[in-house]
Structure 1
Amino acid sequence: MKRLFQALGLGWALCAYSPALLARDLVFGVVYLDSQGFYAGVRNGVEKAAAASGLRIRLIDINVSGDLAKESSFIQILAANRVDAIILSAISADGSVKAIRHAASAGIPVVCYNTCINEASLGKYVTAFVLGDALRFGEMLGAEAAIQLTRLGVRSPRVGVLNCEFVEVCVQRRKGFEKALKARLPDSRVVANQEATVLDKALSVGQGMLLAQPEINVLFGESGGATLGAIKAVQKSGRSGKVHVFGSDMTTELAHELFDHRVLKATVDVSGTELGRMAFALALAATHGKQPAQRVQQARIGLYAAPESAKAWLAGHPDGLP
């Protein structure tokens, strides 16, 4: 354990903990893809599940900020130190394979949540994958968008997408959204699609879209940061009431915007806290040689489409964690 802390540049931590605390029975490595609110929820779920397990467990975690090299380096360190399990949201379906294969070859169970590696490699190197079905996620949102846009008299949606399509889950979200929207409003069309998952970039890209293509009357955010950026872009462009936002994920800020309902009309969410709990449970079971009956485990998908649902979410999440 001492070598692990030093390898991670956490030598200072050795002075902060007693030898008894450092000698945990189990050590789990946890990888968070970025710093959006969803991953704060995942961290909350993992930590609460670890505390509730009644076992002595040490969590060694990192936010890789979408950096594939950082993800690979961290997993290699974990594998070299023979941690008991690794929990992660993989950055790339193909690019993350090498590091995960290395960990699996070292006999370390790997549990993915939200995103993972390609299907062929997943079957070889990953113990379990927890997610909300991304295509269904998008379909639920697209169907609700069609209902609300019809009610608003928008028969020909011109959609701008703020995407996170460097991960496959976001590609599937868009495909599901387009499919369901077009099924009910055949004249709908995506006219712009740009990567913008971080709030500041999403705001800038959203404003640029609205300026360059004034026919846009719908913005779709594929992640929480993209959704909030889309809302702020509409507000700052003076297009509230004319451009309607449909989004992904749920946070306190998004719940307040949904309650206001002037710009954000609906969002679909998979609870980060619940995914964290499920991923931890699967990782813990794997350390005891237990494999899930199904490698891919589905999490519940929730649709929030009215001010009342936003109010209920806020009441049920006083800590603000999704």
Structure 2
Amino acid sequence: MVAALAVTVLAGACSNQATSGENSGANTALPSSCKQSKPVLGVALPNTVNPYYVAMRQSFIDNAAKSGLEVKVAIANDSDSNQLSQINGFIQQGVCAVALNAVNSGPGAASVAALNQAGIPVFSVNVIISPDDLKTQNARVVQYVGADQPEGGKAMGEQLLKDTGANAKIVAGIVGDPDQIPTNQRDQGFTEALRANPEAKVGPTVNSKVDPNVSLQVTTDMLQGNPDINVVFADTGPGTVGALQAISQLGKTGKVTLYGFCAANQPLDATYRACAAQEPADYARIVVENVQKHLGGGQVPATILQPLKIFTSGVPAPGEVG
């Protein structure tokens, strides 16, 4: 069972989406390399361990080929310093534009600033760059493309209330990633939705670091230290994988239910009740289309927020992940 949340497109700069700056169009100077017959788009990704980034990487390659762009992909292995070094590599190579999926929201601003200084337009995707850090470095991105994160968390909270009843006793723990703006927005949406139930309480948040093995450990610790928790909200797909394993290994199946962002190829069941799915391949397609439009002198919206698919049964399709 799938429901889609409404699409939101914001045409102006929106500080909470880290676009920090004016919308860019025909009057913005482009690097001379953009005049080549096949301009190069640099794509910076955190890793290719997470199925999310596997789908995004392939989509960038496929859609760039259709658009007449050459793609160079850099994988940071979840290191901010690696990513900044790779961004500097793109600058040395004289790429035309960069699609940046930052490893982390704050440090990503340094990559944006370096590209700005080189006159290379930056399109951020998925991970929102910290608006405060952008402001500090006087940096800006042309556009941000990603999911409507607060709505995804809100949808999970509302589904929980629908499943349990308006006044059920709920003690929820969050398996999150406090270092990222998008995951914090998901947590906020989930928490706000639960305020409709006076008997609902949101307890601790643990850091899964978007890693299933870390998630397994921190969820285990959270459930052992807080035996009254009867709901877990996991705000990433890898976080969901580890949380499910923890619930099973602790023998809490039937006592603790899970709501989260979708894990790859994981069916919904009586424990894993609902999930919100992003579509990273679609985000990459949108970025490529807007890069092309920008290079042609067209105006592009500063922020594009895509809907999430909400699953309450079945298995999300490949590429529909959290």
Task: Give the TM-score of the pair, scaled to structure 1.
Answer: 0.81
2:118 to 106, 113, 123: 106
Bigger shift: residues 185-194 or 90-99: 90-99
1:198 to 201, 211, 214: 211
Correspondence 1:55-204 to 2 at 5 A:
55=68, 57-119=69-131, 121=134, 124-150=139-165, 155-183=168-196, 185-196=197-208, 197-204=210-217
The alpha carbon displacement at 1:124 in A equals 4.8
The letter for the 2-side match of 1:113 is V
Determine the structure 1 residue equivalent to 2:309.
Answer: 302
Correspondence 1:132-281 to 2 at 5 A:
132-150=147-165, 155-183=168-196, 185-196=197-208, 197-252=210-265, 254=266, 256=267, 258=268, 261-281=269-289
The alpha carbon displacement at 1:156 in A equals 1.6
- Structure 2, unmatched stretches of 5+, are 1-35
The letter for the 1-side match of 2:289 is A
Q: Is the 8 A contact 1:44 1:321 kept in 2?
A: no
The superposition leaves residues 215-242 of structure 1 with CA deviations (integer Å, 9 ceiling, x where unpaired) of: 1111111110001111111111111111
The superposition leaves residues 85-133 of structure 1 with CA deviations (integer Å, 9 ceiling, x where unpaired) of: 1111123333222221121221211111111323363895211100112
Q: Distance in 2 between matches of 1:173 and 1:65?
A: 24
The superposition leaves residues 44-94 of structure 1 with CA deviations (integer Å, 9 ceiling, x where unpaired) of: 3212212322x2x33211222331111111111111221011111123333
Equivalences, count? 281
Q: Distance in 1 between matches of 2:110 and 2:175?
A: 29
Determine the structure 2 residue equivalent to 1:290.
Answer: 298
Q: Distance in 2 between matches of 1:296 and 1:321?
A: 21
Q: Distance in 2 between matches of 1:144 and 1:262?
A: 14
Determine the structure 1 residue equivalent to 2:55.
Answer: 41
**SS across alignment from 1:142:** helix
The superposition leaves residues 143-168 of structure 1 with CA deviations (integer Å, 9 ceiling, x where unpaired) of: 111111229xx812111111122111
The letter for the 1-side match of 2:175 is L
Q: Distance in 1 between matches of 2:172 and 2:78?
A: 26
Q: Distance in 2 between matches of 1:75 and 1:290?
A: 25
Task: Give the TM-score of the pair, scaled to structure 2.
Answer: 0.81
Q: Distance in 1 between matches of 2:292 and 2:149?
A: 25
- Structure 1, unmatched stretches of 5+, are 1-22
Q: Is the 8 A contact 2:45 2:103 kept in 1?
A: no
| Distance of aligned partners of 1:94 and 1:211 in 2 relative to their CA distance in 1, 3 Å threshold | closer
The alpha carbon displacement at 1:321 in A equals 6.5
Q: Tell me the percent identity.
A: 22
**SS across alignment from 1:97:** helix
The alpha carbon displacement at 1:250 in A equals 4.6
The alpha carbon displacement at 1:203 in A equals 0.8
Greater relative CO (CA pairs within 8 A, separation 6+): 2
Bigger shift: residues 43-52 or 139-148: 43-52
Q: Is the 8 A contact 2:238 2:263 kept in 1?
A: no
